[in-house]
Amino acid sequence: MDFPALDDLVLWITLGIIGGGRLGYVVFYEPAVIWRSPLEILQVWHGGMSFHGGLIGVALALLVFAHRRGLSVRGLGDVIAACAPIGLFFGRLANFINGELWGRVTHVPWGMVFCSPRLLAANGGVCPAGLSPRHPSQLYEAVLEGLLLFLLLRLASHRAGWLSRRGAVAVLFLVLYGLFRIVLETVRNPDLTMPTFPLGVTMGMMLSTPLVALGAGLLWRAFRPPER
C-alpha cells in the first residue's frame, strides 16, 4: 500500500470511529435523543462515544475502502486490529485523567474517589464530601484492552504466524476484547441512562457477547483443516 492510500485509510478509519462511535452511543445508551433532540446526535463535543458503535463504523469504512482500492478486507482488518489496542490504551488513560467512566463502589486499598470536571463545576469548584471510593476501572481497561491485548495479538501475528491466515488476527481481537470487556463490566459502573437488567447484566456485556460468539465461530472456520 502506497503512502497516499495509507493517508486515505487513516481518514476513513477516523470517520468510521467518530461517526460509528457517536451513533452507537445514541442508539445503545441514549436512544431518547433520536426523537427528543435529533441535532444533538451531531454534537460530538458534548461527549458520548461507544466502542461497539465505533467498531461497526470502522468495519464499514474498511469494507468500502478495500473495495475501492482492490485490497483484501481480511488482510486489512488484521493490520488495523493489531494497532487498535494502542488507541484503546491511550483512550482509557484519557478517561482516567478526565475522571469519567469510573468503576463501582469498592473497599479495596487502591480504590479512588473520582470528582469529574462537570461535578466540580456544579459544586463551585470544590469536590463534594462523602464520595465513595471506586474501582479505577479505566486503568484496568487500559491494561487488559490495551497492553495485554496488544501483546497477545503481537504473539499471534509475529510468533504464531497467524498472518498467513487472513482475518485470524482481526477475529482474535474481537474474541479477546469481548472477553475482557465482559469481565471488566463487573467492576465498571453502568451508565446512568441505562435501565437495570436482570442478573447484573450490563449493556456492555450484551454488546460484547456477540463479538465473542461470532469471533469464536470465525476462528474455528479459519483454522479448520481443508476438506479433502
The pLDDT value given to residue 132: 87
Model confidence pLDDT, tens digit, residues 16-30: 999 998 888 888 888
pLDDT-wise least confident of 87-96, 151-160, 188-197: 188-197
Q: Which of 211, 69, 218, 86 is nearest to 147 (CA)?
A: 86
The residue that leads in pLDDT, 32 or 109, is 109
CB 153 within 8 A of CB 171: no
* Cα–Cα distance, 66 to 70 (Å, whole number): 6
pLDDT-wise least confident of 33-37, 110-114, 179-183, 206-210: 33-37
Q: pTM to 2 decimals?
A: 0.87
What are the structural domain ranges in the chain? 1-71, 73-228
Model confidence pLDDT, tens digit, residues 34-93: 888 777 777 776 677 888 999 999 999 999 998 888 888 888 899 899 999 999 999 999
Rounded (10°) angle between helices 51-69 and 73-97 = 150
